[in-house]
Amino acid sequence: MSDNIRRVAFTLAEVLITLGIIGIVAAMTIPTISHNIQQAVLKNQFKKFYSTFWQAVIGIQTKEGRPVQCYYWDGTNPYTGKCTPTCDEDEKNQYGNCTVYRCAETGEPIPTDINGLSSECSDFYEELFLRTLKTTKICKDKAYEQGCLPKDFRGADVVKSEQNPDKEYDPAGIFADSPVKNKYPVFVLADGTYIVCYSTRYLAGLPIFVADINGAKGPNKWGYDIFTFGFSGNRNAGIASIIQRPFNYATEKGGKTFQQMYEECFK
């Protein structure tokens, strides 16, 4: 009877083909799975940062019991239609950025509050960064040298140059590499998050910020874990919301703007 038993087995060629197919499928799916996991982690970190930061902002304003005047105008800009900032070609630097602004309608210099009110920003920043948020390290300047920025940090001008190497970008522009590393104040929170203020003076400047929502951890890329945002508001409400646009100075390939990330996380 044993002579009639048929033994079934895989040949070596069949085993190798099967393993090859498994390897191909794994190579195709693992990067997607890894990407999806990273995106989920970054979204959770974004939600945590946004909620923590915004609760701190509105908490201070509630404590003050009055509107805080530190914001960019929302839809209530009193200069709309009366003063549109512009400049002539001879008033631009070599990178195409205006060095002198004036009102297109009148030719007069632009008002100091053309973008919004900042008279109370200094006091508000002191309350926000020194007493409300869990700030563990402060670099008033020289942030890169003092370790408030990760070693692989790249400013907006560097990122844009990598994306478009045929164009020159202003090395002194907003959130460019040199001013961020050497002049702008940076606040590091207890969870590692760091926040860069757009200012060359400590606890001063207009309410625009760059934040890395997971600090020195990777990927340290604009539009992934590094985002730009600011305050929006008006005289009656004070700081009314966090602006998602138009403050987007750089987004790396495959990344998202603050607005896009916000909508994916909260809408």
Mean pLDDT by 10 residues, the chain (267 residues): 58 78 74 70 94 95 94 93 95 93 96 94 96 96 97 96 95 96 97 96 93 94 96 94 80 93 89
Query: How far apart are alpha carbons 65 and 59 in whole angstroms?
Result: 10
Query: How far apart are alpha carbons 173 and 164 in whole angstroms?
Result: 16
Per-residue pLDDT tens digits for 224-267: 999 999 999 999 999 999 986 667 899 999 999 999 999 999 87
* Contact by Cβ (8 Å): 265, 49: no
pLDDT of residue 35: 63
Query: How far apart are alpha carbons 196 and 207 in whole angstroms?
Result: 11
69 token code pair: 């005047």
pLDDT of residue 22: 81
CA-wise closest residue to 190 among 52, 60, 46: 52
Per-residue pLDDT tens digits for 31-55: 666 667 777 889 999 999 999 999 9
